[in-house]
Amino acid sequence: MKKLITLTIICIVMQSCNSQKKDLAKITFTEKHDTFFGDISNEYKENSSMIDYNFFDVYGSQSEDVLNFNGVDLSGYRNKKGGFGTNTISFEFSKKDNTLNYYHIILFYNKNIKQLINTLNNSKGKPVYVDKLLSEPKEIEPDALLWEDKENYYLLRGVTQNTSYFDAFKKNNLIIRRHKFSAGPFQYYGDYLDYLDKQNKTSKQISYYQYAKIMESEGDDYKINSYIKP
């Protein structure tokens, strides 16, 4: 009888743990697929990796239980819940060891975008890089922002548009870093990181602004002309 009661308690505790909401701000990219979702609804998305479907399995979810970043609700929908226009997160797990490597959110309904920016500023510090769709007027809001902490990058783009995108991954994951920074609003920052790697330097030794000035002295003035102080 005691064993039965003990087993019942264990089962209840395990179910309670599995049903807890995920906080995307606490993702460490060491999580395993087998124990990640618990009872949170999700769907396997075959050959849909944003990085490389040969190496990553993708699972998507529209659940409020996982679309949460440090208390900011990232769930919602534009027209009909569950239909096109519903905010969706995709988690990419390595096929080799089932470890989470990357997540990507499509925010069709982005009413809380300013709250997300504020919580990132408060928890990660000011962005290390920002980009605007237009250089004029100066008052225009940034459309893309990049934050980092000791371990991860956090990318937010489409801030001034109808649909926004939010991504996160480990800084030491060069495959994903070079893929996400190879084009688009963060391309110049990707060039900067590659430069630091080649020079065996860190961002504390050479800032992005200093890098842009170095490029200007070598005949490339695109980076300094588009530079915006975060």
Residue 223 within any structural domain of the chain = yes
Assigned token pair, 212: 């842009």
Instruction: Pick the closest to residue 110 from 59, 69, 51, 52 (CA basis).
Output: 69
* Whether residue 207 sits in one domain with residue 154: no
Tell me which amino acid residue 186 is: F
Tell me what pLDDT residue 133 has.
Answer: 85
Residue 10 clears pLDDT 50, i.e. is over it: no
* Whether residue 213 sits in one domain with residue 104: no
Mean pLDDT across the chain: 90
What torsion, rounded to 10 degrees, do the Cα atoms 172, 59, 163, 178 define?
Answer: 20
Tell me what pLDDT residue 11 has.
Answer: 46
Q: Which residues contact 11 (CB under 8 A, 6 or more apart)?
A: none
Q: How far is CA 18 from CA 39, 102, 149, in A?
A: 6, 21, 28
pLDDT class of 126 with cuts at 50, 70, 90: very high
- Show which of 147, 170, 193 is a domain's final residue: 170
144 touches 131 (CB < 8 A): yes
Tell me what pLDDT residue 78 has.
Answer: 83
* Whether residue 191 sits in one domain with residue 115: no
Residue corresponding to tokens 């998507």: 60
Tell me what pLDDT residue 136 has.
Answer: 57
Residue corresponding to tokens 């569950």: 82
Write out pLDDT tens, residues 135-179.
555 667 899 999 999 999 999 999 999 999 999 999 999 999 999
pLDDT class of 15 with cuts at 50, 70, 90: very low
Residue 153 within any structural domain of the chain = yes
Residue 185 clears pLDDT 80, i.e. is over it: yes
Percent of the chain whose predicted confidence (pLDDT) is above 70: 89
CA atoms of 44 and 19, how far apart (whole Å): 19
Tell me what pLDDT residue 18 has.
Answer: 46
* Whether residue 165 sits in one domain with residue 192: no
Assigned token pair, 97: 């060891």
Q: Where does residue 82 fall: left (phi above 0), alpha (psi -120 to 50 degrees), or beta otherwise? A: left
Residue 176 within any structural domain of the chain = no
CA atoms of 158 and 23, how far apart (whole Å): 22
- DSSP symbols for 189-213: HHHHHHHHHHHT--TTTS-HHHHHH
Tell me what pLDDT residue 140 has.
Answer: 79
* Whether residue 93 sits in one domain with residue 51: yes
At 181 the three-state DSSP class reads: coil
- DSSP symbols for 136-162: -STTSPPSEEEEE-SSEEEEEE-TTSS
Residue 218 clears pLDDT 70, i.e. is over it: yes
Tell me what pLDDT residue 13 has.
Answer: 44
CA atoms of 185 and 180, how far apart (whole Å): 10
Residue 17 clears pLDDT 70, i.e. is over it: no
pLDDT class of 198 with cuts at 50, 70, 90: very high
* Whether residue 149 sits in one domain with residue 72: yes
State the distance between the two ends of the chain, measured CA to CA, in whole angstroms: 63
* Whether residue 196 sits in one domain with residue 156: no
Write out pLDDT tens, residues 74-114.
999 887 776 678 999 999 999 999 999 999 999 999 889 99
**Which residue range is the domain that position 228 belongs to?**
181-230
Residues, the chain: 230
Residue 43 clears pLDDT 90, i.e. is over it: yes
Domain count, the chain: 2
Residue 8 within any structural domain of the chain = no
Residue 219 clears pLDDT 70, i.e. is over it: yes
